[in-house]
Amino acid sequence: MRSLLKRPMFRRGGPIKEEGLSTMRANFNNGTQPLMPLPKPQNRGLAGFDEKFSMNEKSIRDAMGSPKDTRFLRYLSRAAGNLGNQRGGTALQRISRAMAGDPMEKLFNETDQFRSRNQGIKNAALQRTLGQLDRDEKRTYDEEQLAKLQAYEASQNLGKDNRTASQKDFGDVEEQFIKQGKPIYDENGNLTPEFKARYTFFRTGKEIIEQVNTEFELANITGSKRDIEAQRAFNQSQTIKEFHKRRADDAGMTFATVDEYVPGEPLKPFVIYIAEDGVQYGDSMVEGAAYVLRDGDDVKFLDIDFEEISIDNEDKPLNDPFAE
């Protein structure tokens, strides 16, 4: 018997001891160590389809509510009510007949409705998910196209001046002031009145000249080149005067008309003179003066916003340079 139990078929993984089959091989007592399972790859589907679909389905179910599934309880209730109407046969046969027929048919119908409701929710979640994916795809495509367009425009605009017209005009006047050594900003960081006046005149004059030139081209005026240029200059001057007249009206000024300031010429009463190049009074220039107005015997210097500029008595000349 001992030799029979030593056969390989009776070896359970350990050295055979005197106890026979009851003892197993020592290194198999606790079984083998299981292999570490490989991580299951996360299948997120088409650009996160599974995640979006689950979130949409949950959202729809929360909005519609989740009634309890009581189909089986109702089925048992109907079957129990039907059991009392069964006659004949064994108890098992009567129970079988009671559970079949109408109770079972209603259970099938309720199951179909339950599945139909679930399928409707899934269909709605699917439609919402597909719509979201379409919008995401379109947004990604638009962003890629915009990035390509911006990169192309950047490559084409290398070395070009991309400033706006107002920025260019500001830069031109700023460059003039720097060359002349004039301040652009005051101690508070605001533009000086003189710079504001020069910039307004520069930009306004530029726009008016472009406007008049366009009108001349559309009008197709004939005549000699000298006459056309004279008419063009006259129209530009009149348009500039009309522009400043409107500004003076908006500022509530009392005046008769608007004219261009010419140094050395006497001033007429109640005429606002446009002084693009500033006004010299005595031995110095009136800082920030953009307009001059003779109001009776008084001469008023106005900035670009028609605010009066005060002049110290010590700066006034002995003789009025504006008198006739």
- Asked if residue 180 and residue 281 are part of one domain, the reply reads yes
- Asked if residue 308 and residue 188 are part of one domain, the reply reads yes
pLDDT beyond 50 at 40: no
Instruction: Give the largest Cα separation in the chain, rounded.
Output: 152
More confident residue, 19 or 251: 251
Residues 223, 296: Cα–Cα separation, whole Å: 44
pLDDT tens, residue by residue, 207-247: 888 887 787 777 777 778 888 888 888 888 888 888 888 88
323 inside domain: no
pLDDT beyond 70 at 319: no
Instruction: Give the 3-state secondary structure of residue 271.
Output: strand
User: What is the pLDDT at residue 9?
Assistant: 54
User: What is the pLDDT at residue 154?
Assistant: 75
- Asked if residue 93 and residue 57 are part of one domain, the reply reads yes
160 inside domain: no
Residues 198, 275: Cα–Cα separation, whole Å: 10
- Asked if residue 130 and residue 91 are part of one domain, the reply reads yes
- Asked if residue 239 and residue 294 are part of one domain, the reply reads yes
- DSSP letters, 99-167, are HSSHHHHHHHHHHHHHHHHHHHHHHHHHHHHHHHHHHHHHHHHHHHHHHHHHHHHHHHTTT-----HHH
* Mean pLDDT, residues 145-155 taken together: 82
pTM of the model: 0.44
Q: Which structural domain range is residue 107 located in? A: 49-154
24 inside domain: no
Residues 246, 255: Cα–Cα separation, whole Å: 12
162 inside domain: no
pLDDT tier at 47 (50, 70, 90 boundaries)?
A: low
Locate 37 and state its tokens. Answer: 């399972």
Residues 268, 1: Cα–Cα separation, whole Å: 146
Residue 259 phi/psi, 5° resolution? -145, 170
Residue where one domain finishes, among candidates 95, 127, 154: 154
**Among 230, 226, 200, which residue's Cα sits nearest to residue 212?**
230
pLDDT beyond 80 at 46: no
Burial of 290 (0-12, 13-18, 19+ CB in 10 A): buried
53 inside domain: yes
36 inside domain: no
- Asked if residue 263 and residue 196 are part of one domain, the reply reads yes
- Asked if residue 296 and residue 174 are part of one domain, the reply reads yes
- Asked if residue 293 and residue 219 are part of one domain, the reply reads yes
Residues 201, 289: Cα–Cα separation, whole Å: 12
- List the beta bridge partners of residue 93: none
pLDDT tier at 38 (50, 70, 90 boundaries)?
A: very low
Residue where one domain finishes, among candidates 124, 154, 184: 154
pLDDT tier at 21 (50, 70, 90 boundaries)?
A: very low
pLDDT tens, residue by residue, 170-181: 888 888 888 888
- Asked if residue 298 and residue 262 are part of one domain, the reply reads yes
User: What is the pLDDT at residue 44?
Assistant: 46
Q: What is the mean pLDDT of the chain?
A: 76
Residue where one domain finishes, among candidates 105, 122, 154: 154
Number of domains forming the structure of the chain? 2
* Mean pLDDT, residues 195-211 taken together: 83
User: What is the pLDDT at residue 64?
Assistant: 73
88 inside domain: yes
pLDDT tens, residue by residue, 275-312: 887 887 777 778 888 888 888 778 888 888 888 888 76
5 inside domain: no
- Asked if residue 228 and residue 121 are part of one domain, the reply reads no
* Mean pLDDT, residues 17-30 taken together: 50
pLDDT tier at 43 (50, 70, 90 boundaries)?
A: very low
- Asked if residue 176 and residue 93 are part of one domain, the reply reads no
Comparing 13-27, 198-212, 252-266, 292-306, which segment has the lowest mean pLDDT? Answer: 13-27
pLDDT tier at 24 (50, 70, 90 boundaries)?
A: very low
- Asked if residue 130 and residue 87 are part of one domain, the reply reads yes
